Amino acid sequence: MRYEKTGQIRSAFRPAVRSVLIKILAVIAVLASVASVSACGSTQSGHVIRIGIKFDQPGVGYKKNGTYSGFDVDVARYIAHKLGYKDYEIEWTEAPSKQRETMLQNGDVDMILASYSITDDRKKTVSFAGPYLVAGQDLLIRKSNTSIKGPDDLNGKRLCSVTGSTSATVVKQKYSNKVQLMEQPSYAECATALFSGIVDAVTTDDIILAGLASNSRGKLKLVGHPFTQEYYGVGIQKNKKTKAFAKKINAAIKDMIKTGAWKRAIWNNTSGTGFSPDTKYNPPKPTEGEK
């Protein structure tokens, strides 16, 4: 009889014990999940800044083996640090030229530094801070070339630029109307065509060409006579907080210039290429977006 009662008691307790165990396991799972999130750092808590850059422009914005380099990247990182973000809290995103305005409007990124020139047309849909560099359109040629010293020397020559770019058209309309234009999908392919002798020169912003020259192992060189001014800005979303955000970004750029970090970033990314920022415009005075 004792054994029967004992067995009945045990049977009665089994569901209760099982229920308690399930609850304990559920609590353990929740605690483990919280610990896992904490171990991943603050990027899981939302303290992240999303920055759009180029992935395919050596010396400007370049991604290789999971690392990011270039002048735009250095400026972006400096700004992010001044805004209170650590390196691991920066989320780098590729910002193709045709998608930059859309990315900002949709809130896909917080800011864009991607050889992004400040123009009145772009300011209709997005806002800017900066500028952090005044670049200029220039020419990239083979190191052995001594006949091309500027855009006026391109009549009868073959000039390469990227599909959709207006750079080559500017040369043909304003300087050498008999130049032969060739388009490629990317500047890297233009550089390859130049290296192979298919074209005689490549044109776009000087700092982009400097990056291509640095990747050519001394085979290509920058002419070094820019003939336009391109004010590189930090693209930001147009909203009620734009002015306050622009002021913070501009303060960071001013600090970068004041401390010498701006000059070091230029040197680190373009050394040996023949590139030198036009001192008439550089370093620039970042006041864009504050009014």
Please give the model's pTM, rounded to 2 decimal places.
Answer: 0.80
Identify any residues that bridge with 138 across adjacent strands, giving them in sequence order. 204
- What values do phi and psi take at 121, rounded to 5? -65, -45
Which two structure tokens, joined as six digits, stand for 248?
């913070």
Residue 37 has pLDDT above 50, yes or no: no
Q: How far is CA 267 from CA 27, 125, 161, in A?
A: 55, 34, 25
Strands 180-184 and 158-162, sheet pairing: parallel
Q: Are 220 and 143 in contact (CB under 8 A)?
A: yes
Among the residue ranges 10-19, 107-116, 138-147, 179-188, the one predicted with the least confidence is 10-19
Identify any residues that bridge with 206 across adjacent strands, giving them in sequence order. none
CA gap 251, 161 in Å, rounded:
35
Q: Are 160 and 201 in contact (CB under 8 A)?
A: yes
pLDDT of residue 166: 81
Which two structure tokens, joined as six digits, stand for 27?
């609590």
pLDDT of residue 70: 97
Alpha helices (H) along the chain: 2-39, 71-82, 100-105, 167-174, 187-196, 206-214, 242-259, 261-270
Domain ranges for the chain: 49-270
Give the model's confidence band at 149: pLDDT under 50 very low, under 70 low, under 90 confident, else very high: very high
Give the model's confidence band at 9: pLDDT under 50 very low, under 70 low, under 90 confident, else very high: very low
Residue 229 has pLDDT above 80, yes or no: yes
Give the model's confidence band at 49: pLDDT under 50 very low, under 70 low, under 90 confident, else very high: very high
Placement of tokens 């043909």 in the chain: 172
Question: What mean pLDDT comes out for the span 170-197?
Answer: 94
CATH superfamily of 49-270: Periplasmic binding protein-like II (3.40.190.10)
Identify any residues that bridge with 56 across adjacent strands, giving them in sequence order. 62
Q: What is the DSSP string of 251-277?
A: HHHHHHHHHTHHHHHHHHHHTTTT---
Cβ neighbours, 10 Å, residue 262: 24
One-letter amino acid at 20 equals: V
Give the model's confidence band at 22: pLDDT under 50 very low, under 70 low, under 90 confident, else very high: low
Among the residue ranges 18-32, 38-52, 83-97, 164-178, the one predicted with the least confidence is 18-32
Candidates 83, 103, 112, 77; CA nearest to 262 is 77
Q: What is the mean pLDDT of the chain?
A: 88
Give the model's confidence band at 39: pLDDT under 50 very low, under 70 low, under 90 confident, else very high: very low
272-287 tens-digit pLDDT: 888 899 999 999 999 9
pLDDT of residue 34: 39
Question: What mean pLDDT comes out for the span 227-255?
Answer: 97
CA gap 72, 90 in Å, rounded:
14
Question: What mean pLDDT comes out for the span 129-150?
Answer: 97
Half-sphere exposure of 201 (CA within 13 A, CB side): 32
Question: What mean pLDDT comes out for the span 50-66?
Answer: 95
